[in-house]
Chains A and B, each alone.
Chain A
Amino acid sequence: MNFVSPDLSPAFAEMFVLGMTCLVLVVDVYLKDSQRGITYVLSMLTLLGAAAITATSGVVARELAFSGHFVSDPMGDVLKLVVYATTAVVFLYSRDYLRQNDLFKGEFFMLALFAMLGIMVMISAGSMLSLYLGLELLSLSMYALVAFQRDSAQAAEAAMKYFVLGAIASGCLLYGISLLYGMTGTISLSGVSAIFTSADQFNIPVLFGLSFVVVGVAFKFGAVPFHSWVPDVYQGAPAAVTLFIASAPKIAAFALAIRLLVDGLGDLQGGWQDMLVALSVLSIIIGNLVAIVQTNIKRMLAYSTISHVGFILLGILTGSQEGYAAAMYYAIAYVVMTTGAFGLIIILSRKGYEAEHLDDFKGLNSRSPWLAGMMLMLVFSMAGIPPFVGFYAKLTVLMGLVEVGLTWLAVLALVFSVVGAFYYLRVVKLMYFDEAREEGEPEAALDIRVLLSANAALVLLLGLFPDGLMSLCIKVFQ
């Protein structure tokens, strides 16, 4: 019997992150509170190293490792790079906030890194098992992160809700996976894909399994009607954690959907398309309508996320390469916009005070025209007004829809983005048209200011020159 030593090099980045995170864990134990900066620097170095490994891996085609449980492909590399960058941005934005709120502890960084590792495993999952393992690693770290502020009852409540609902959703997903395994006898996504044919989309047991899988995906996205955790968790968690939850895991959800539905169950597209149509339409309608009545900006952004998720699902449900590329573009654009918006909330927050009410934005233009200008760009981008990146994200998704003949969905999405514009305009109104409630410029360290400016500038630059990222997204799906 030949024994071939497995080639583990495609998973080198994951192994590096795992090793480094364990190192951070050990080192942190020996640090005094005043030395937490070392943990922070080590975590940043982890991200930097991982980025270097992924960027230099130069994957041009699909490579398998761990007997097919692990896939390395260009899409995975792009998504991973986005995730590293997002996590680094989250750390940067959070540093001072965590210090002020006595949350600057090693656990934050370790949990976030483990969550990121989970996302990486999901992105590169080649089988339903590794997908599920990645998902659980992400989810468990997330539950802990939400509950991280121990003395906050609100955070504990949010974590409890998240945990209970998340566990049910994971159960649904696992049940769906087990049904699919029962019918195909394999957990490898390529194996599943080889067995199902497009005739199976009318096969009731297959659809039964499929619907449980879709429920799991929809929950991770926070799509209506599996969205009820989103606003509570966004509001209850400390702003730094909300920033993380709102950004990187959406990339993970996108990867989950692509790996499961496209790589594994691509032939059942006729089956899951209708389900995603319902999910995305509901998400866009409910997300945009309910956001209008929110007075808490974290909740408002939560509902806005729900409507953005609807758009990402619209891209996926087209079942075309253009549509997947559009959804990926949208997901990345969403992450760029949302990190900026939460970054500003963090900047406006002070010791023991979360700037989470819309009124906290009042008169920001008088207090700091620069910050207000940055938020202006972010908000108009979220509303889908050109020349900001959010417009092109919507445009590519709509083009994908029209191309496959779903023009009515495109028109519906457009109409509701007009409805959505209303609550984004309200933020601009508060910042520009209203009198400031308090005087003085919000305090923020220089690097955070630079980061926010870069973040908003990216929203504008990706809008003025959208082609680079767009062609990249198209390329990875060819």
Chain B
Amino acid sequence: MMTGTPLLSLLIWVPVLGGLAVLAAGETRASLARWASLAISLVTLALSLLLVAGFDSSTSVMQFVEMRPWIESFDIYYQLGVDGIALPLILLTTFITVLVVIAGWEVIQTKVAQYYAAFLIMEGLMNGVFSAMDAMLFYVFWEAMLVPMFIIIGVWGGPRRVYATVKFFLYTFLGSVFMLASLIYMYMESGSFEITSLYALPLGMNAQVLIFLSFLAAFAVKVPMWPVHTWLPDAHVEAPTGGSVILAAIMLKMGGYGFLRFSLPITPDASRELDWLLIALSLIAVVYIGFVALVQRDMKKLIAYSSIAHMGFVTLGFFLMYAIVDRTGSLGGAAMGLQGGMVQMISHGLISGAMFLCVGVLYDRMHSREIGDYGGVANTMPVFASFMVLFAMSNAGLPGTSGFVGEFFVILASFQANFWFAMLAGTTLILGAAYTLWMVKRVVFGEVANDKVAALQDINRREFFILGVLAVSVLALGLYPAPLTDLMSSSLDNLLNQALGSKLVP
């Protein structure tokens, strides 16, 4: 299907070129940079809404396909397309970017144009990752994204920003190069970098296992899964608020997206063979990282660890299908796991973004992220406190918020796989509530802790707007998730078929 306007290209290049234009405008006109960036990000959001409007959710084939020769010497195409898996993530990207642009409005005072340009370029590249249908194009976007993020953390970050950003860069770079090796290998086998032709490529078991592991190296670092998660707390803590939001809300999702787009359909037999590994790592992330989060003193660090635990749910949901089908033969249960993982990704994107924005609001006023420096914020910032409690509740998975839906699906699915999986996964309901609510109790409630807290001003209209929009989204998704699940169900069913099939060479 070829529509008239190349919407996906616009989604990539409008923010990238817009970012370059903002950069070229220079540092002397900061307010121009702000307004221009807001306009560009709103245009991009509008484009993504057009995408949703024109999307046909009843089919799993790629839509809005664009295909042009790019590097003909190696049969690499500039090939874009979206399905029900990529579309919600693109929407999330454009939505969160608008909020990030607004969130930096008064906070960022140094090198304003560069700040906004970096975020806009990031947005375009992230849209590129989610819409690339050629593996090499995907890889180009995937790696190119590191450059603006490296700059964002390093220039506008906290005191240990250099350590954090170099660690972030090298971790993710090391993970991805293995993926590159696999992609080249498969190109030699199939003569194409097209992702759909890689789906059709038969592969022997040994090759599949190696390819699966190399994908795992790339995606597990991004998700991040235990034990390659250690870059995340550093990067999150040191990044400026906007950077943390983009990292948590979108970049982590790329790992999850990679599992769905690459690992499961390209190496289904290896996925079946090694699903225990993924399940084990996910459960460790859920339980162990949950305990680690409990003892954090730094709010951003706590949320970072909670992100890892929540992303454990995502990977758990994705890889439960083999156990479920082997045990019960129920495709519905397997689909529920996948769906739960996807919903959890979107929901976590909103909630973690909101939590980081909340911490950002406090940090802008107090310049401290230590839980111990706060106490009784509700007395001086009642409006803010209600938002923060709401987001904390949804982070803990309270029914009625979006955090509940994904977790519930995944726990239900894991019951069908194995009682113990469900048992361990279920601990998150206790742990998540414990670390989140305990933090909220110490920060928001109680007596006013010190003079600084007593002097706090409640949130202004700009902050109210950002948090309000996020609150509405979290509640809407929690009360009525059907539009989201409808959007992706046929693509997920198709993926399930691919993942449960076999590609072994006969």
Please give the residue numbers on chain A whose beta carbons come within 8 Å of chain B beta carbons, in ascending order: 365, 369, 373, 376, 380, 385-387, 391-392, 395-396, 398-399, 402-403, 407, 410-411, 414-415, 417-418, 421-422, 425, 428-429, 432-433, 466-467, 470-471, 474
Please give the residue numbers on chain B whose beta carbons come within 8 Å of chain A beta carbons, in ascending order: 23, 26-27, 69-74, 111, 114, 136, 139-140, 143-144, 146-147, 150-151, 154-155, 161-162, 165-166, 169-170, 173-174, 177-178, 180-181, 184-185, 187-188
In the complex, the answer to whether B188 meets A403 with C-beta atoms within 8 Å is: yes
Question: Which residues from A are CB-within-8-Å of B70?
Answer: 467
Selected from A385, A407, A422, the residue in CB contact (under 8 A) with B144 is: A385
Q: What are 7 residue pairs bridging A and B, where the CB atoms are less than 8 Å apart in the complex?
A: A380-B147, A399-B187, A422-B170, A425-B150, A428-B150, A428-B154, A433-B165
Selected from A392, A418, A428, the residue in CB contact (under 8 A) with B177 is: A418
Known: A402-B188, A421-B173, A433-B155. A387 touches B144 (CB 8 A): yes
Q: Smallest CB-CB separation from A414: which chain B residue?
A: B177
Question: Which residues from B are CB-within-8-Å of A471?
Answer: 72-73
Known: A369-B114, A414-B181. A432 touches B154 (CB 8 A): yes
Complex-state Cα separation, A433 to B153, whole angstroms: 9
Ranked 6 nearest A-B pairs via Cβ = A386-B140, A414-B177, A433-B154, A467-B71, A418-B174, A470-B73
* Residue from B143, B165, B181 having most chain A Cβ neighbours under 10 A: B181
Q: Smallest CB-CB separation from A377: which chain B residue?
A: B147
In the complex, the answer to whether B184 meets A421 with C-beta atoms within 8 Å is: no
In the complex, the answer to whether B166 meets A422 with C-beta atoms within 8 Å is: yes
Complex-state Cα separation, A418 to B217, whole angstroms: 14
Q: How far is the CB of B151 from chain A (nearest CB, A)?
A: 6
Q: Smallest CB-CB separation from A472: which chain B residue?
A: B73
Selected from A376, A433, A470, the residue in CB contact (under 8 A) with B71 is: A470
Question: Which residues from B are CB-within-8-Å of A466?
Answer: 71
Q: How far is the CB of B208 from chain A (nearest CB, A)?
A: 15
In the complex, the answer to whether B73 meets A425 with C-beta atoms within 8 Å is: no
Selected from B143, B146, B151, B181, the residue in CB contact (under 8 A) with A398 is: B181
Selected from B144, B169, B184, the residue in CB contact (under 8 A) with A410 is: B184
Q: How far is the CB of A308 from chain B (nearest CB, A)?
A: 17
Q: Smallest CB-CB separation from B20: which chain A residue?
A: A373
In the complex, the answer to whether A474 meets B174 with C-beta atoms within 8 Å is: no
Question: Which residues from B are CB-within-8-Å of A392?
Answer: 71
Known: A414-B178, A422-B170. A398 touches B184 (CB 8 A): yes
Interchain pairs with CB closer than 8 A, number:
91
Q: Smallest CB-CB separation from A434: which chain B residue?
A: B162
Q: How far is the CB of B129 from chain A (nearest CB, A)?
A: 12
In the complex, the answer to whether A407 meets B181 with C-beta atoms within 8 Å is: yes
Complex-state Cα separation, A398 to B183, whole angstroms: 11
In the complex, the answer to whether B166 meets A425 with C-beta atoms within 8 Å is: yes
Complex-state Cα separation, A169 to B185, whole angstroms: 38
Q: How far is the CB of B77 from chain A (nearest CB, A)?
A: 11
In the complex, the answer to whether A414 meets B150 with C-beta atoms within 8 Å is: no
Q: How far is the CB of B342 from chain A (nearest CB, A)?
A: 28
Complex-state Cα separation, A418 to B178, whole angstroms: 11
Complex-state Cα separation, A428 to B166, whole angstroms: 10
Selected from A369, A385, A399, A422, the residue in CB contact (under 8 A) with B146 is: A385
Sample of 4 further A-B pairs with CB below 8 A, known A387-B140, A402-B184, A414-B178:
A386-B140, A414-B181, A418-B173, A418-B177
Q: Smallest CB-CB separation from A426: which chain B residue?
A: B166
Question: Which residues from B are CB-within-8-Å of A396?
Answer: 74
Q: How far is the CB of A283 from chain B (nearest CB, A)?
A: 18
Q: How far is the CB of B277 from chain A (nearest CB, A)?
A: 21
Q: Smallest CB-CB separation from B110: which chain A residue?
A: A366
Question: Which residues from B are CB-within-8-Å of A429?
Answer: 154, 162, 166
Complex-state Cα separation, A345 to B27, whole angstroms: 25
Q: How far is the CB of B134 from chain A (nearest CB, A)?
A: 13
Complex-state Cα separation, A373 to B150, whole angstroms: 14
Question: Which residues from B are CB-within-8-Å of A428?
Answer: 150-151, 154
Question: Which residues from A are CB-within-8-Å of B139?
Answer: 386
Complex-state Cα separation, A432 to B71, whole angstroms: 33
Complex-state Cα separation, A414 to B173, whole angstroms: 10
Known: A402-B184, A433-B154. A421 touches B170 (CB 8 A): yes
Question: Which residues from A are CB-within-8-Å of B169?
Answer: 421, 425
Selected from A386, A422, A433, the residue in CB contact (under 8 A) with B162 is: A433
Question: Which residues from A are CB-within-8-Å of B27?
Answer: 369
Selected from A395, A407, A418, the residue in CB contact (under 8 A) with B185 is: A407
Question: Which residues from A are CB-within-8-Å of B73?
Answer: 467, 470-471, 474
Known: A399-B187, A433-B161. A386 touches B177 (CB 8 A): no
Question: Which residues from A are CB-within-8-Å of B114?
Answer: 365, 369
Q: How far is the CB of A281 from chain B (nearest CB, A)?
A: 16
Complex-state Cα separation, A471 to B140, whole angstroms: 19
Selected from A376, A391, A402, A411, the residue in CB contact (under 8 A) with B143 is: A391
Known: A369-B27, A387-B144. A467 touches B150 (CB 8 A): no
Complex-state Cα separation, A398 to B174, whole angstroms: 16
Known: A422-B170, A425-B150, A425-B169. A391 touches B181 (CB 8 A): no
Complex-state Cα separation, A295 to B58, whole angstroms: 60
In the complex, the answer to whether A391 meets B72 with C-beta atoms within 8 Å is: no
Q: How far is the CB of A250 from chain B (nearest CB, A)?
A: 23
Complex-state Cα separation, A414 to B181, whole angstroms: 8
Question: Which residues from A are CB-within-8-Å of B111?
Answer: 365
Complex-state Cα separation, A363 to B349, whole angstroms: 35
Question: Which residues from A are CB-within-8-Å of B74?
Answer: 396, 399, 470
Complex-state Cα separation, A409 to B73, whole angstroms: 23
Q: Smallest CB-CB separation from A474: which chain B residue?
A: B73
Question: Which residues from A are CB-within-8-Å of B136?
Answer: 395
Complex-state Cα separation, A422 to B71, whole angstroms: 29
Q: How far is the CB of A199 from chain B (nearest CB, A)?
A: 29
Complex-state Cα separation, A391 to B180, whole angstroms: 11
Question: Which residues from A are CB-within-8-Å of B72?
Answer: 467, 471
Q: How far is the CB of A352 from chain B (nearest CB, A)?
A: 32
In the complex, the answer to whether B162 meets A385 with C-beta atoms within 8 Å is: no
Question: Which residues from B are CB-within-8-Å of A403?
Answer: 188
Question: Which residues from A are CB-within-8-Å of B166?
Answer: 422, 425, 429
Question: Which residues from B are CB-within-8-Å of A365?
Answer: 111, 114, 155
Question: Which residues from A are CB-within-8-Å of B180?
Answer: 395, 398, 414
Q: How far is the CB of B162 from chain A (nearest CB, A)?
A: 6
Question: Which residues from B are CB-within-8-Å of A414?
Answer: 177-178, 180-181
Question: Which residues from B are CB-within-8-Å of A432?
Answer: 151, 154-155
In the complex, the answer to whether A386 meets B144 with C-beta atoms within 8 Å is: yes
Question: Which residues from A are CB-within-8-Å of B187?
Answer: 399
Q: Smallest CB-CB separation from B136: which chain A residue?
A: A395
Complex-state Cα separation, A466 to B136, whole angstroms: 13
Question: Which residues from B are CB-within-8-Å of A467?
Answer: 69-73
Complex-state Cα separation, A410 to B178, whole angstroms: 10
